[in-house]
Amino acid sequence: MTGTIEILYEDEFILGVNKPNNVLVHHSHYARNITDDSLLQLLKSQQNGLSYYPINRLDRKTSGVVLLSKQKSYVSQFQELFDLKEVNKVYQALVRGHVLEPDTIDSPVKNDRGNYKGAISRISPLQTFEIDIPVQPYPTARYTLLEMQPVTGRTHQLRIHANKISHPIIGDHKYGNRHHNRMFEQRLGFENLFLHCKETSFRHPVTQENISINAPFPAFWEECLQQLQALSL
């Protein structure tokens, strides 16, 4: 059970919600084998049958801020903000290894058609951990809580860029490190992807207000960070 979808922001035009891990924003051809209720279905049930229209999306395994329109006619106004790069999105990720300095990753990402498109992400370390658990080939394991800001919005961009700099995101079975993923599952008890859209901010295209929507971490994040802190050397 996913439980109640947390509503973070609401006005007469849009809804900002905290999407849980492992929930599709909506069903599509690409996820035709997934039968669990989507975010749109869960919200419709929760909101007395009201329908909403996605403005942006997150990967199924990623949690955090998703914007939804109350009317289909509003969607294009808000999506234009994303197209013009006028939406600031701040993610946090738990990655393998120690990232010690802020950096900008400028590396193309392949799209669904197999073409490479320019992609830029900014990263900044927030906290590092070293724990006394060996993970092949090292006698201890190092991790960084990382802030990630996508300048462009390519599919899987942050996950690919984290892998590109040899600091893959924990729980990422496509682009990650299987040894660290296995340790988190078997020793610490965490199977989810550690990528969370923490904040989305923009100027409202109708009201012209500056809007900042913040999403609390899922509970397992807090539990994991506490464990890492307790185990730290």
| Catalytic annotation, residues | 59
What is d(CA 127, CA 47) in angstroms, rounded to the nearest whole number?
38
Tokens of 203: 């100027």
Could you identify the residue written with the tokens 């059970």?
A: 1
Is 93 in contact with 105 (CB distance < 8 Å)? no
Question: Of 46, 53, 47, 58, which Cα lies nearest the Cα of 21?
Answer: 58
Question: Of 4, 53, 48, which Cα lies nearest the Cα of 25?
Answer: 53
Beta bridge pairs of residue 145: 94, 127
What is d(CA 102, CA 19) in angstroms, rounded to the nearest whole number?
27
What is d(CA 215, CA 7) in angstroms, rounded to the nearest whole number?
9
